[in-house]
Structure 1
Amino acid sequence: MTHMSLAHYLQLVDRCWRSQDGVIIANLISLRHDHATSKSLQIEKPESMVERFLTPPFDEIVIYHLKCLYCISNKNYLEAYQQQSLLTQCLTKIIQSQKEENWSLPVMYSVCLDLRLLAQSAEKDRIGVSEKPGEILEKAAECLMGCFRVCAADNRSSEEDTKRIGMLALVNQLFKVYFRINKLHLCKPLIRAIESSPFKESFSLSQQITYRYFVGRKAMFDSDYKMADQCLTYAFENCHKLSKKNKRLILIYLVPVKMLLGYIPSKQVLEKYDIVQFWELVRAVCQGNLKLFDEIMETHETFFIKCGIYLIVEKLKIIAYRNLFRKVYLILNTHQIPVEALQAALVYLGQIDVDLDETECIVANLIYEGKIKGYISRQHRKVVVSKQNPFPPLTSLS
């Protein structure tokens, strides 16, 4: 396949197009297939040759594909992206015209994946150029959205015929773009479309895992930790056991979500997936050791920022405060805890800039979040906690 002649390639494409073999066509116009490395297919101006073998409208698709291969061979990723964009728009029109068929969905999946990957490569090439960051990916998302609309507009009810069965694959590609350019608000209508789809349970497991992974991450950033836990747990439990890299990626977001909900991950799991940074964090949070917590945040700052979870992990500090104040309560053995005692514990653990007012504010947040049952007596500068279960187990919080 890597040494295929142009004539042989075009004959094969024509035969598969006529037989409506979407899976093979998807390979034959994929930038990730073996044929893409064949020098005989990397042609700057393939129009005349292609038109001898193929009829409209598919001849246009192949012309754009061959031009794209030529641009990639010359490492001109921006022009390659432009050709792939034209190819995607052309394919969208073809799929839209196929009123009673959906055999070309595998072709659409392949073309859209290549478009997103090329857009990412073109973005890297544009670093330092006047075009604003993310602009190429935004344009790619517009093309992807065009395909999504065609699929969503198909009102046929049969799972075998409808194009709506292709919606989730496109949504996942769009998610990957929106997360990369930090436009998570654009995910909301897509989630709504999938959740209301009558084919929600019919999508492939791999697509559902990817979908739940991104929905879980969005829920995490929206502070909807129960939804994040539900989605990320589904993704982790259903991800193939041999896909260790993907399971690790899911855990990087699932672990802080679980901890925010009061669940403690096992050291064995964290070691298995090479995210032991979280075990040090677990120790600091459980001990209420704010000094250790700050040291860990500083030590692993690069890791947390690179993963996009720094601010989420920082929120675990409130649980460390709760556990520290519980220790003070147990030591003093009183339901009327002086704010000065809590402040002294904070200062002892390195929070030297925290005054009495700030200490009260931390306690007020813990009470508001239900992590402490009680109230603050400002007149006496004391925290009056409930005589029954003043520090509720975190896992029981609503």
Structure 2
Amino acid sequence: MTFMSVAHYLQLVERYWRSQDGAKVASFLSLRHEHAGYANYHIESPEGIVERFLTAPIDELVILHLKCLFAISQSDYLSAYNIQSNLTQTFTKILQSQKEENWSLPIMYVLCLDLRLLAQLAENQRSGINEKPGEMLEKAAECLMGCFRVCAADNRSAEEDTKRIGMLALVNQLFKVYFRINKLHLCKPLIRAIESSPFKESFSLSQQITYRYFVGRKAMFDSDYKVADEYLTYAFENCHKLSKKNKTLILIYLVPVKMLLGYIPSKEVLEKYDVIQLWDLVQAVCQGNLKAFDEIMEKHETFFIKCGIYLIVDKLKIIAYRNLFKKVYLILNTHQIPIEALQTALVYLGQTDVDLDETECIVANLIYEGKIKGYISHQHRKVVVSKQNPFPPLTSLS
């Protein structure tokens, strides 16, 4: 965009609004568009000039947009958020009034994205104030839900007409809020709405990738690893090969899920996407080296917590137990393994607080999860493993 006067900008907005060019209007209402950086658009009271060029209802949207730009120019993100919230709610009423139209959906996408980003800035600005953490983001989510309800209520069946094709973009914005404020239970009705949508396969690929990434993460936190694997794998495989940052982000969650399902990632994959922090962990798990596992968990604790994967990574210890017990089985070369021998191996690798009963419990869990084929003879304190494939193999993930 070349530099233009506010008057010219307003004339273009009116023209695009009348021609129902939603994408063009959206760009002129975006806080990230080039015009937002020009000082002459930072107007504290723009009502006078706007009303000379624009008619209702677009005039009110532009007035609020310019006021928001002014607040941002003053680094007053709390005020900017409140204005953007008002702008979003005003647009929601307009969207609802457009009974037979959906051309303004691009405007909704832009306003809602900017609202969420401003809510984050406002949240940071008020962090020193003694108020409820996440409150600004929660309020933003309420505005987003207003738009979502309008879209979901449109019962027209034609894809080119219905507002329901805008639902997934809103769901992704809501996911980003709910994950940030740790209210994942609020995702459930949104997932149900999308999964039952007749337009499920019609949403853009980028929106589907984002959606599956968040649903996969939620499934991971719910310990539904097969669903997590399915959704995260889809997101990873369909993410553009040049979007290395996004593929790395997906892989951070996909790798622990895959490992819990019995797949082991290669070093090349982890190096390619800069998640080499996981390689030492993979080695410790594969070697059954519980001492190294505990040291790695401590060393990379901050990274794992920051990514939100500490608890799921800690669950990989069960696979390390499996691999250690397999080594004991191979050394003793018997299908009747004394529980005491397994405990001795555990103590040798730093698990000094594990007694025979706890060792037996670990073995029982491994048998229950199918990682060891056999049973426990409580009378003789032995693990009797199958003579055929007692330790089902882990699969290489490349």
Q: TM-score range by the shorter chain?
A: over 0.9
The residue that corresponds to 1:27 in the other structure is 27
Aligned partner letter, 1:309:
I
Cα separation, 2, equivalents of 1:189 and 1:393: 38
The residue that corresponds to 2:170 in the other structure is 170
Counterpart secondary structure, 2:263: coil
Cα separation, 2, equivalents of 1:79 and 1:231: 38
Aligned partner letter, 1:225:
Y
The alpha carbon displacement at 1:370 in A equals 1.6
Counterpart secondary structure, 1:393: coil
**Identical-pair percentage:** 84
Cα separation, 1, equivalents of 2:266 and 2:126: 43
Alignment of 1:1-398 (within 5 A): 1=1, 3-394=3-394
Tell me, yes or no, if the aligned pair for 2:264 and 2:394 is still in contact at 8 Å. no
Cα separation, 2, equivalents of 1:173 and 1:2: 31
The alpha carbon displacement at 1:64 in A equals 0.9
The alpha carbon displacement at 1:186 in A equals 0.7
Cα separation, 2, equivalents of 1:249 and 1:390: 36
Tell me, yes or no, if the aligned pair for 1:14 and 1:54 is still in contact at 8 Å. yes
TM-score (norm 1): 0.97
Q: Deviations over 1:143-166 (max 9, x none)?
A: 001101101110111111110011
Q: Deviations over 1:232-254 (max 9, x none)?
A: 11111111111111111111111
Cα separation, 2, equivalents of 1:167 and 1:173: 10
Q: Deviations over 1:303-338 (max 9, x none)?
A: 111111111111100000011011111111222211
The alpha carbon displacement at 1:348 in A equals 0.7
Structure 2 runs not aligned, ≥5 long: none
Cα separation, 2, equivalents of 1:309 and 1:392: 26
The alpha carbon displacement at 1:377 in A equals 2.4
Tell me, yes or no, if the aligned pair for 2:264 and 2:395 is still in contact at 8 Å. no
Counterpart secondary structure, 1:383: strand
Cα separation, 2, equivalents of 1:393 and 1:182: 36
- Tell which deviates more after alignment, 353-362 or 211-220: 353-362
Tell me, yes or no, if the aligned pair for 1:301 and 1:310 is still in contact at 8 Å. yes
Structure 1 runs not aligned, ≥5 long: none
Cα separation, 2, equivalents of 1:331 and 1:163: 65
Tell me, yes or no, if the aligned pair for 1:239 and 1:247 is still in contact at 8 Å. yes
Counterpart secondary structure, 1:264: strand
Tell me, yes or no, if the aligned pair for 2:371 and 2:392 is still in contact at 8 Å. yes
Cα separation, 2, equivalents of 1:285 and 1:194: 37
Cα separation, 1, equivalents of 2:2 and 2:343: 70
Q: Deviations over 1:214-269 (max 9, x none)?
A: 11111111111111111111111111111111111111111111111111111111
Q: Deviations over 1:81-112 (max 9, x none)?
A: 00000000000010110011100000000000
Cα separation, 2, equivalents of 1:343 and 1:65: 67
- Tell which deviates more after alignment, 370-379 or 100-109: 370-379
Tell me, yes or no, if the aligned pair for 1:215 and 1:228 is still in contact at 8 Å. yes
TM-score (norm 2): 0.97
Q: How many residues align?
A: 396
Cα separation, 1, equivalents of 2:10 and 2:276: 53
